[in-house]
Structure 1
């Protein structure tokens, strides 16, 4: 008995020591993460400081140590703090697509367990630190799209496990060292200032890995038998002069573009309120004309006629936004009626054709379409009257204020919005093979107070001039669409796929927001799925939801299917509804189960993720 007691005491002492050590190590990891949060400004990281660091968004722990830190596209800026070196068990560090600057701290050499380092798409500068090449467990290194200068260090050969090396779009100079890495598969040094001949060990890499430099040798043009001599890369005086002149013109073009964008942004900020410009008196007509409905509002169906054009013109108007087809207003009339009014621009059809097309639009009746209640056609003014949607657009909720007091869009709501939008678009497509929306984007998905989605702006593409559609729609536009009016149901599917990616990632597609940066969503998502764990693409707000990752991955796959290049390979909207309905039903069942479990005092159900895990290229 005495021996057993000693064993028990020794075991308890050992476990206590281990727990104290683990807590101490996690405290050190937590301090390093907080130092990063304090140093890297930009959008605040959505971390609950009262909880364990292992529960923070982007942080993954194993045995109470931080082993992964993934914070892509979080608006981080400033310099990496030296304290990042205290994350001594870190295996993956991904800070891609932020605005971090300055040098990489030399203390990164302390991260001896690091296998994956993704720093592309930032503003890091200075030399590539030699300390990186002491990380002998490193498998993937991506420093592309930064401002690194100096040469590529020969110490790169110390990384004997390296499979990926991306250094493109920096300002590196000098020759490429003789890189001999047997496991190197992915390699790119394009668009730097490198010169000399390409080492023989890299001659099997594609041409695109070297373009945009002053290099020669396989797989590029021959070095004229000069071997590794730099003489084969000397430029003639005419070539140098051409480069200088071209550079001057490029700088001038960039300056002119920046001045133009600043001017437009300034004009946008000064216009915070506008009014609906009343039609000319000759257009409004006489009282007798109004009695017969001439030059007055034309109402559809059973829409209540509690107001007329005069009431609308007297209403107080608030600008809701400027879209592809015109400016939208919230109009509050004296009798208290509130409607949304769109003042169309660049309408190039006759009144007869306008009326015919509006009759088709007015006949569209579906719970997930924002109905057009009335229209007005005048010589100078064309107005459409819609139901007012008090929650605004999906775009505003996704990309507006996300701080304290903002409206969260959890998985259940996003799934329901996706389903509602799909049903509305599918209804349009059911009216004939030639009928397409043509302008699907998050700002045209409007929400009721219960977050029911309504698709707006349908049927308007054929009314406008082909030159009136601004470039900012391009982020949603299918690659085969060259004229804004030559859309199809398959191009609608592509746009809807972009919308799904936007819902899942929380990021706006390129040119989707005027004067704001966006992301080429399909390429961005594919790059992450190809290189890292799929979970990194999801909006941090979605990652708060438990046990939904499998469903998010399924919706992500559906979005990818919609955005394939070839139109015939995209699914039909009817198929989309079936697949999203299954996810939505699953979501509702899970929510019900969690409510019942809470009522019973039992724990929430958990769901194993058997799909969408790390692709084979991301496994160690």
Structure 2
């Protein structure tokens, strides 16, 4: 044994000495170091960072590595004067990060999609920057997050339900942004720090978040419920979500003594008895005052009374009693028109979450999402002068008008205090948003092909309305031209002027109104043609009627066009975004000539809508046969490198 040990011992010593002589292995995180250098090279920053390729990334300012110095675990760069967008494929490569803090800088633009690779991050601090875009979808995939702070930025759009993917959150801070829409129900079991203050949220606060103080929800458009004031529906009164509020008296009653309960019960019984006696006396006195003539049979009276929800003054008290129950029933009745595809009722609408889409000349429009997920648009009309009978008749008439370029009226509701219309929700938005909303915002401008096709769709819808329905639209404007999911132009709010009375049309079609409407206060088929001509000028010039003012005469787009065109047609009148296309000048001039004919001051000199449609369809056939049209930027491409589309462009929801 000793001999064997004496032989092995020198070998062990030699091996140990060999290990000591070997150089140490450098555990520098080379790939992550390069990712950080790529980030710093693309983002202006403070000189104090002083990251150099010759030193270890684990020794850089703001960078922390694990115990083996083999991977970057923390990146803290608060107030480092970082400016501009976060470059993609840089920080997203730090897949071993646990903490990321870029707060209090001047970072802008959206959060990169590759942040979704940071699945080990537990704390993300991006507050006090100018980051923008929708709620970062990549962040909702960072499922180990315990604290997320993106407050004091410029994020917009809805707060997605996907936030619930972050089921380890203890802090969620979204205040001081531009988030809109309703607040989703968020699992708050682990949340101890939460705020959505100073955004543009509306609707009711979910019960899961009502435990937080009112300061967490302050400064929004129309949040209600929870710690804030109770919700009132956007049309009429309705019970709050989750049933009626608990009566605080009932809570206290549990603590009352038996004697007090007996006393209260006795008092209630005595009060009920006295009330019954008074009621019997009133009934007997009323019977003595009734006339000798026998009253109308109840069935006949009901048949006569159920058609009128609002009882007129001066009717007999017996008719009031008979129609009273009918009035209550009618008050809760949502009238669906022929061809409707919905099965909800008024109570379902009252419980729906609502988001304001916009306030127009005839009222306010809301996007209502029912409990079953159905989404509709509810238009709350204002200043309605028509009686219920007149209102019912006009709605039934409009409900019978069907055309692919007319937005169908699905249902309506009439009561003394509320008049509501229900339409399909078209997520693509309006022509106004498409034409004017994308300017300067990086959106795709509307090309000529689509402007022509939208104009034809609007013309066809109006021609059908005039010829088959014998109805004047009375409120034609670009915000009332919607786009269907299949990108077809669709006209909304048609035929509503009769329910507002004779004093309304002047105000309701401001900017598009014909000269005779100002005098007669009555919309006609010819005044619709004038408004359609204004719409064509809007498509051609890219200017909304409220962007052109001529002194005290107010808005007059035709006069502005005349002032530019002078005695000959000139390209200066056309939208600058159309100047990038070639071989369309002749068609634009033809459209301009048609538009000027439509806005003639003399109604009889304006063409019929059917004739206007024929002219545009002839132009469209020429467009389809023309294989030489090109973008001036690329011989084979249209707007932003895409081939010119033959369909109407998509509009993003506002």
Q: TM-score, normalised by structure 2?
A: 0.45
Instruction: Pick the structure with greater CA Rg.
Output: 2
